[in-house]
């Protein structure tokens, strides 16, 4: 019997196009074990990263790209606040990794493939929502004309967080706002 996937254990939603099952790798950032439907391999690193941390990386990259728009999340990644080693998945790990992420493709290298069609669609929809007149004040930095890249990254983070059905406690504050807005619309 293989090792259990942390995200399966928590009954998080699946990344479409992959089957849930035994864990295939440990997340480079937070250390949890994740299955194929709950993680992805970043070939350019190379590293395996769990779905929670993909969301966290996109959020941190969005905050960085927006030019001081967002808050930098205090503790992204699964279970910030539970009893695992608090030095794992520290913000600095996210910040360093996120420095190399300007576009969603920089993290999800095969974004153009069919299995990510839903993510491209949802991220586009959400980024347009962020640019719209109803964007709340806390997210206004993402509505600026020059913030298209930040919007795209934040849209992808929100789309993936929604697909995985992550609890709000897993999300960075700025992303919580976006997800709340999406649920309100």
Under the criterion CB under 5 A, does residue 151 sit at the interface with Zn ion? no
Which residue from 52, 37, 28 is spatially nearest to 168, judged by alpha carbons?
Answer: 52
Nearer to Zn ion, 53 or 139 (CB): 53
Nearer to Zn ion, 6 or 142 (CB): 6
Least Cβ distance, residue 44 to Zn ion (angstroms): 17
- CB neighbours of residue 92 within 10 Å: 9
Nearer to Zn ion, 30 or 178 (CB): 30
Under the criterion CB under 5 A, does residue 108 sit at the interface with Zn ion? no
Q: Are 174 and 66 in contact (CB under 8 A)?
A: no
Enumerate residues 19-78 that contact Zn ion by CB under 5 A.
Answer: 20, 27, 29-30, 35, 38, 50, 53
Collapsed DSSP state (helix, strand, coil) of residue 99: coil
Task: Tell me the C-alpha to C-alpha distance, in Å, between residue 176 and each of 87, 116, 179, 181.
Answer: 23, 23, 5, 9
Which residue from 7, 12, 4 is spatially nearest to 164, judged by alpha carbons?
Answer: 12
Least Cβ distance, residue 94 to Zn ion (angstroms): 10
Under the criterion CB under 5 A, does residue 178 sit at the interface with Zn ion? no
Q: Are 50 and 41 in contact (CB under 8 A)?
A: no
Nearer to Zn ion, 25 or 63 (CB): 25
Residues in contact with Zn ion by CB under 5 A are: 5, 7-8, 20, 27, 29-30, 35, 38, 50, 53
């Amino acid at each position: 019997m293989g090792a259990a996937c942390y995200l399966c254990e928590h009954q998080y939603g699946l990344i479409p196009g992959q089957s849930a099952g035994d864990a295939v790798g440990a997340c480079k950032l937070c250390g949890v074990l994740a299955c194929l439907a709950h993680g992805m391999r970043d070939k350019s690193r190379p590293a395996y990263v769990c779905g929670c941390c993909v969301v966290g990386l996109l959020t941190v990259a969005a905050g960085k790209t927006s030019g001081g728009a967002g808050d930098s999340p205090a503790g992204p990644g699964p279970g910030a606040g539970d009893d695992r080693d608090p030095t794992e998945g520290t913000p600095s790990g996210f910040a360093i990794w996120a420095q190399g992420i300007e576009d969603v493709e920089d993290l999800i290298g095969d974004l153009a493939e069919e299995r990510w069609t839903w993510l491209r669609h949802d991220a586009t929809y959400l980024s347009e929502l962020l640019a719209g007149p109803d964007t709340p004040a806390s997210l206004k930095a993402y509505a600026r004309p020059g913030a298209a890249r930040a919007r795209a990254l934040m849209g992808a983070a929100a789309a993936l967080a929604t697909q995985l059905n992550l609890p709000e406690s897993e999300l960075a504050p700025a992303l919580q706002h976006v997800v709340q807005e999406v649920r309100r619309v």
